[in-house]
Structure 1
């Protein structure tokens, strides 16, 4: 069965979320799609051989789904590719496999077209970049009918731009590429840019921090326009589960799109290994065995100066407690890690109390759709002169 069953499991999981039927056996597809998977299940000559063979046979289906008139088919394809890249993206990129996702700026599930945006009068001076987390993609900001980017566009006049990237690559590699993309984006934005805001979920927050660091080191101009940097459940200091091993299995099992990849066992992409401690620099991983047990040797990277930085964290517990903060968290990220707290003062991220927000009885993915989180984002991003005094103080 090998990788073929894994990929088919992702496919079936996505169909299930869309309310579409699958085969009688759990994790199996039916019809023509099922026949495609059946035809390649004989590949059992090791992980690498099975992976390459399965992906080669899967490519035609993915290509047919691209640009299909059925929106759900495209969403399904994107979800499969995002999950694949999260677990195997570094291998795909190293092999120049066409399934390796290139970094891209997007809107409405399509490549961003600045000329069309300008022609439609849809470009404002307030740009909001949204960065997804591991094994996810730009379409998955829409959860339970809510999209933070669309909500902030309606309420505060932001123009949302969504990043899509290969989450299996090292975080610092993605950070460097993002810095370059933002430099080019703001230089060609069709109207004068008043401010840039970044809203990042999970791993996306580490990519954002890495991008700011790279841009500052190389003298890029866009950090001067960055006004807000908001983290949703970002593992700034990693998580104990990541160091123990089961982290990736829990993370992948948290979404139907990526759940079947837990069958890959100990296979870990570079991006996943970076989540053990929250690596954001090349120096954090270069010259080291990324899969070996090792202490935290990161170079501390503080929050950027002159930027309003905000942290949103969730806990599955009913209320905050020392145990919940260190262990429970949102099911994947401990509360202290999401808030940037660390026993070593040199590693603590200086989020002001007013820039921290915690929601109880919520999990990691709930941060994408929680109504209280949406209200808090509006509070933080509303310019001071426009804030309603009655709602200026957030619930704690």
Structure 2
């Protein structure tokens, strides 16, 4: 992505933000001036007379400036993106995609991330010869690392540690890192991941003996969705999948997204609060999928219209694949006296372990396939020595 593209993407977002704020102010103006009842529907979103003219003028000028900026930036000579050693700009773009990536993609905003496999912060080629040159350490044991919400491939390196590089050193895996727009539907990302992985396997320079998927947070859901898609469409890589590992993945949903869903649903009951529900609704469909850990297209939803919807069905883990689910807990130990295990700050222990009192709502796994790391938070799963020890030990264990 060139610097010009980034500037165009940012300018579009600024224009859209100004228009959004204008809409909120005008709707609130209309509601107050009409003296609407505290509960129920308001009197519409647009004002009339001089006030309406002012708001229309603001929108018109804003849109005109936006078009002019976009045209001007298109005509400027392309300026290549500066070499990024820290990855801070990429991290900001990843956060932006997590929050409103579906909107960026729908508007063809240059800031929208396109899915690709990467290594050392750079995209991998899809040609066999070019892949061999790019990956001098290429082997027959492929490890694919899938990041979580608002993150990207660089996020796997934390506090000087990278599970992928460590497993390459100790276990001989060849790591590649998926980068994707985490604001899109999980099922959409899962489908595209499956298709791209199929092409990568076909282009791999040596015959692949085994594939291991390692997903953090949302990345575990995207990986499960990809497995489901591959099974349904007979993709060849699925038969070579030997292991699926999920770190802090909200298989049963994320409580913070449920809270955000309820806030926006309740606030919509009052016309005075309705304009501000647009702010509460500024969370991508990817985030909304986390409400119930949805991985299939049938479970996807784009709105908050059904606050009591709890029809989510837990899809089983892929068959004939060794699965390891690791949860993090901020408790120092399992015997800390809490009535229920404390999660990692974002995902509960039970959700990460796919455990529910109702047998129909939990995964059928042997006890050793569910493990909890204590004194660790959600991001700490990426750098924890305890987590890495468990990964290495578990992968070394025969079926």
Q: State the match for 1:91 in structure 2.
A: 103
Q: State the match for 1:44 in structure 2.
A: 18
Answering whether residue 257 of structure 2 is matched by residue 245 of structure 1, we say: no
Cα distance in structure 2, aligned partners of 1:43 and 1:290:
21
Cα distance in structure 2, aligned partners of 1:324 and 1:277:
25
Q: State the match for 1:354 in structure 2.
A: 368
- CA offsets, 1:73-98, max 9 Å, x none? xx122111101100110011111111
Cα displacement (A) at 1:322? 11
Cα displacement (A) at 1:365? 0.3
- Structure 1 residues 132-147: aligned runs within 5 Å: 132-147=147-162
Query: Are the structure 2 counterparts of residues 246 and 126 from structure 1 closer, same or farther at C-alpha, using a change threshold of 3 Å?
Result: same
Answering whether residue 175 of structure 2 is matched by residue 163 of structure 1, we say: no
Provide the alpha-carbon RMSD of the alignment. Answer: 3.4
Cα distance in structure 2, aligned partners of 1:135 and 1:325:
32
- Kept in 2, the 8 Å contact 1:314–1:361? The answer is yes
Cα distance in structure 2, aligned partners of 1:115 and 1:148:
27
Cα displacement (A) at 1:266? 3.6
Q: State the match for 1:216 in structure 2.
A: 231
> Which of these residues, 294, 300, 313, is aligned with residue 285 of structure 1?
300
Q: State the match for 1:195 in structure 2.
A: 210
Q: Which TM-score applies when normalising by structure 1?
A: 0.75
Deviates more, 1:191-200 or 1:63-72: 63-72
Query: Are the structure 2 counterparts of residues 201 and 83 from structure 1 closer, same or farther at C-alpha, using a change threshold of 3 Å?
Result: same
- Kept in 2, the 8 Å contact 1:241–1:247? The answer is no
Q: Which TM-score applies when normalising by structure 2?
A: 0.75
Q: How many residues align?
A: 331
Answering whether residue 365 of structure 2 is matched by residue 365 of structure 1, we say: no
Cα displacement (A) at 1:65? 9.1
Query: Are the structure 2 counterparts of residues 349 and 297 from structure 1 closer, same or farther at C-alpha, using a change threshold of 3 Å?
Result: same
Q: Secondary structure in 2 aligned to 1:295?
A: coil
Q: State the match for 1:76 in structure 2.
A: 88
- CA offsets, 1:234-261, max 9 Å, x none? 000012332121899xxxxxxxxxxxxx
Cα distance in structure 1, aligned partners of 2:180 and 2:248:
18
Cα distance in structure 2, aligned partners of 1:105 and 1:89:
18
Runs of 5+ consecutive residues of structure 2 not aligned to the other structure = 1-6, 24-58, 264-277
Deviates more, 1:238-247 or 1:180-189: 238-247
Cα displacement (A) at 1:354? 1.3
Cα distance in structure 2, aligned partners of 1:42 and 1:281:
31
- CA offsets, 1:166-206, max 9 Å, x none? 00001001011111011111111110101000000000000
Q: Secondary structure in 1 aligned to 2:159?
A: coil
Query: Are the structure 2 counterparts of residues 318 and 70 from structure 1 closer, same or farther at C-alpha, using a change threshold of 3 Å?
Result: closer
Cα distance in structure 2, aligned partners of 1:205 and 1:182:
15
Cα distance in structure 1, aligned partners of 2:78 and 2:327:
39
Cα displacement (A) at 1:331? 0.6
Query: Rg: which structure is higher?
Result: 2
- Kept in 1, the 8 Å contact 2:261–2:304? The answer is no
